[in-house]
Every structure is written in structure tokens, then in C-alpha cells.
Amino acid sequence: MTTAPPTTASGPGPYDAPAPHGSPGRDTFALGLPARAPLLTRRAWLALISLIVAAGIGVPVCALVLPQSSALHLSAYTMTLTGKLMCYAIAALALDLVWGYCGILSLGHGLFFALGGYAMGMYLMRAIGHDGVYGSSVPDFMVFLNWHTLPWYWQGTQHLWYALLLVVLVPAALAWGFGFFTFRSRVKGVYLSIITQATTFAAMLLFYRNETGFGGNNGFTDFKRIAGFPITHPGTRTVLLLLTFTMLVLSFIGARAIVTSKLGRVVTAVRDGETRLMFLGYSPLGYKLFVWTVSAVLCAIAGALYVPQVGIINPGEMSPGNSIEMAIWVAVGGRGTLIGPIIGAFAVNGAKSVFTAYFAEYWLFFLGLIFVLVPLLLPNGIMGLIGHVMQLVARRRKNG
């Protein structure tokens, strides 16, 4: 926040207005907000729209029309990988919203991701119907446990709309409840990070139990169909991939709308000086809760899109390590920017695919090195590096 000049007695006091307004009567100084940044610049809109068009036409053509022999043909592997990376990108965007803009480093976003995935997985398990190994009306793992009826929380999950509702509501409720209790008692910084990590750890232990009713160790897998379409069919895959892409674009625009709004400014102020903001008369609780809940829901949606494409969800997704990896995607891409986390998610996970395929043993070393070197050498990530280079180029051009 800019330092506020002293207000006179007649001027608007900090208690009159929650957000400082410019007072039109004075032209010596304007106490107010600069104009709201545009949602996207004209060039960015252009680039985004052309990307949408290219993906909207290119993906179906490459996946369905081109023959398998063609070099441009999208194989099932490529589509799964791309879909997975885009889901990770949405999750990274969600994490950036709280970390990059609100200063809350969550090491438990994997929990929301997995909860979304589990809600979707419940529907997918029910959609198997009687085609499971045991041909029973309950999912196979319940047959193992000798359960004959569905537990109460499985009621209604045979409807896709209800599962989608769960995808949004369950993580939202959990995030709101958790956020309410922790933010209210002003838990922040590393304290909060560790508590989020402990939460996802506890949830992982809970989901590993068979009696919890979510398939224990193995989680959900062996899905057959979604909304009546066979789940491994290339057409279904294409639709899912395009849906994920749409979701990614929408969340990007949505996040951009949030961070450029007035609310977004207050959220940024929470990040930069929460105590000072409180002295100015704001209560950060509502702002933090809003961003935190939105972020959790976004993450859950990413998880819900992830499960039908990857075909499995198990409690391993909730392991603390997974959530910490999400943070490194954001750090690598550059937090506090919206394009950064998307780049970071693609870069780190792309590297992971390459490493695990060719030198699996060194992946942990490499990942560890990223964790160590990025905060040391690239505090603002790839986006920071790009900005730095652009500045250099601009200065050269100016001088030369």
C-alpha cells in the first residue's frame, strides 16, 4: 500500500469508508486507487483467443481425424499427460492465489485436490454399475469388506450433477471451517503451513483406513464410463481434455478478475502488511477466508478433472510431499503472477516425466535441487527471469 498522507479533520477518516476514496474537491493530491488494471491487455486477449481456437480445432482433429500413423496424431498417452499437466496447472493457479497474493503458503492443497478427485471418483465408481469384477451393485472394494449396502455418504452419488456439487461443496466447507478457525486466531506464516500439512497428513491416514469407506489403500480405479460414455474412448478423452483446457482458461480469467478487483488489492495488502492493514481498520478474516475457499474449490475442480483422465485416485494424492511439490511448481513459475504457476506446473512436471522415464534414480536429487536453488537464485521464478531479461533488452535498446 502506498503511504497515506495525513488527512485533515474534514477529510474522509479511515473509519468512514472501508476503502479509501479519492476526494474530488482536492486536486493537490488524490487519495485513491489508480485505475483498475484491465482484465487482459489487448495483445493478451488476442493470444488467448487464438490459443482457444487452435486448441478447439487442433485437438479434435489430431486426436480423432488424423490416422494413428500421422506424426501429428495425439496418442492416448499424450492426451492423458497433457490433461494431467493442465489439471496440475489449475491446482498451481489455485495455490498461487493464496500464496502469491495472500501470503498464505498452504502445504495442504493436495487434500482439496484429492477431495475433488474422490467426489468425482465416487460417481465414477457408481457408474461402473454391475460391470465390476463381482457384478455387485456396490463397488468392488465394499464387496471385499463384506458391506452390502452403501454408507450414507455415498447416497446420491450415482448422479453426476450431485457428484459435481460435492466436488465444490465438500472442499469449500472444509476450507471455510479450517480457515475460519486458523485465521481467526491469527495463525500465519510457517505455523499455518505446517498445520495445513498436518491436516492433509491426517486426512491421508484417515483415507488409508478401509473402514472410512473410500477404498482404503487402493482408492478408486477401474472406471468404465462417464455420463454414459466409455471412459477410455478417444472421443471421451478429447472432450475431457477440452473441458480441462476450458477450465484452465476460465480459472485464469477468474483469478485475474479477483486479483485486479478492490478485494484483490486488500488481499495483496494482507500479504504485504497484515498488521498495518488491521491498524487501518480492516478485518483481514473475511478477505482471507474468501480467497482461501475459492482457491480450495479451484483445486478440487482440478482434482475432479484429473481423476477421469488418469483413471485412479488413492490416498497417496494426500501425502504431504505431493502438496509441497505443488508449492514448488508455483515457486518455479513465479508466484504473484498468474501465468507463472501455469508455466511452473508444466515445466516441473514435464521434467518429472522425462526424468522418471530416463534416469529415475536422480529425480529426487533434481527435485531437491530445484527446491534449494530456485528460492536462492530465482526468487521470482521463471517469470521473474523473463522480466529481468526484458528489462535488460529494453535498457540496451534505449542505450544503443
Partner 1 sequence: MHSLTTLAARGGRAALCALVLLGAFAAPAHALDRADVAPLGGDDFDAKSAAIDRLIALHDAASLALLKALADDSVNATDSGEVLIQDADSARDAATGQPVAAAVAANAQPVTLNNLLRSKVAGALSGLQLASPDVDTRRAAIADLLKNPDPAMKPLIDAARAKETDPALKKRLDTLWAMTALHNPDAATRLEAVKLVAARDDLDMYELLRPLVAKSASGAWNEPDARVRAVAQQGIDALNGIQRRSQIVGTLFAGLSLGSVLLLAALGLAITYGLIGVINMAHGEFLMIGAYATYVVQTLFQHYAPGAFDWYPLAAIPASFVVAAAVGIVIERLVIRHLYGRPLETLLTTFGLSLILIQATRMLFGAQNVEVENPSWMSGGVTVMQNLILPYNRIAILAFSLFVVGIAWAVLTKTRLGLFVRAVTQNRRMAACVGVKTARIDSYAFAFGAGIAGLGGCALSQIGNVGPDLGQSYIIDSFMAVVLGGVGQIAGTVIGGFGLGLASKAIEPFWGAVLAKIAVLVLIVLFIQKRPQGLFALKGRSAEA
Residue 370 and residue 327 in contact, taking contact as beta carbons nearer than 8 Å: no
Q: How far is the CB of 88 from partner 1 (least distance, A)?
A: 17
**Nearest distance from residue 217's CB to partner 1, in Å?**
13
**Does residue 98 interact with partner 1 by CB under 8 A?**
no
* Interface segment toward partner 1; rule CB under 8 A; list 99-107, 151-159, 300-308, 390-398: 99-107
User: C-alpha grid cell for residue 50?
Assistant: 487464438
Give the cell for residue 335: 508466484
328, 370 in Cβ contact below 8 A? yes
Least Å distance, CB 206 to partner 1, is 6
* Smallest separation, CB 261 to partner 1 (Å): 25
Four-point Cα dihedral 141, 145, 150, 151, nearest 10: -110
Closest contact distance (angstroms) between CB of 369 and partner 1 is 7
CB of 283 to partner 1, least distance (A): 16
Interface characters, 104-123, with partner 1 (x: CB under 8 A):
-x-x----------------
- The residue from 65, 72, 190, 360 that contacts partner 1 (CB under 8 A) is 190
Residues 315-334: x/- map of binding to partner 1 (CB under 8 A)? Answer: -----x---x--xx--x---
The residues that bridge with 312 in the sheet, in sequence order, are 221
The least distance separating partner 1 from the CB of residue 326, rounded to whole angstroms, comes to: 11
Confirm if 384 and 377 have CB atoms less than 8 A apart. no
- Name the residue with cell 493464496: 98
Give SS3 for 231.
coil
- The dihedral through the CA atoms of 6, 9, 11, 13 has a sign that is positive
The count of residues interacting with partner 1 (CB under 8 A) is 44
Residue 150: HSE in the Cβ half-sphere, 13 Å Cα cutoff: 16
Report d(CA 170, CA 348) in Å as an integer: 29
- Of 5, 37, 368, 385, the one binding partner 1 (CB under 8 A) is 368
| Closer residue to partner 1, CB minimum distance, 201 or 229 | 201
Q: Which of 28, 149, 185, 399 binds partner 1 (CB under 8 A)?
A: 185
Of 88, 124, 174, 199, which lies in the binding site for partner 1, with binding defined by CB under 8 A? 199
Nearer to partner 1, 158 or 218 (CB): 218
Rule CB under 8 A: say whether 198 interacts with partner 1.
yes
Residue among 197, 293, 322, 337 that touches partner 1 (CB under 8 A): 197
Interface mask toward partner 1 for 250-289; x: CB under 8 A: -------------------------x--------------
H or E stretch covering 157: none
Segment (H or E) for 73: none
Measured in degrees and rounded to the nearest 5, phi and psi for residue 143 equal -60, -40
List the one residue from 45, 134, 153, 191 that touches partner 1 (CB under 8 A): 191
Distances (CA, A) of 30 to 22, 211, 265, 291, 355: 5, 63, 18, 29, 55
Q: How far is the CB of 80 from partner 1 (least distance, A)?
A: 26
Q: Which of residues 369-388 bind partner 1 (CB under 8 A)?
A: 369-372, 375-376, 379
Residue 269 CB, nearest distance to partner 1 (Å)?
Answer: 15
Contact between 116 and 303 under an 8 Å Cβ cutoff? The reply is yes
Q: In the 8-state DSSP scheme, what is residue 62? A: I
- Under the criterion CB under 8 A, does residue 1 sit at the interface with partner 1? no
Distances (CA, A) of 5 to 32, 190, 230: 11, 34, 64
User: Which residue's CB is nearer to partner 1, number 264 or number 320?
Assistant: 320
| Contact between residue 313 and residue 220 where contact means Cβ atoms under 8 Å apart | yes
- Asked whether position 184 contacts partner 1 by CB under 8 A, the answer is yes
Least distance CB 84 / partner 1 (angstroms): 22
Convert 278-313 to b/e letters by CB count within 10 Å (16 or more is b): eebebebeebbbbbbbbbbbbbbbbbbbbbbbbbbb
Distance CA 303, CA 87 (A): 7
Give me 270's grid cell: 494482507
Interacting residues with partner 1 (CB under 8 A) = 99, 103, 105, 107, 178, 181-182, 184-187, 189-191, 193-195, 197-199, 201-202, 205-206, 208-209, 275, 320, 324, 327-328, 331, 361, 364-365, 367-372, 375-376, 379
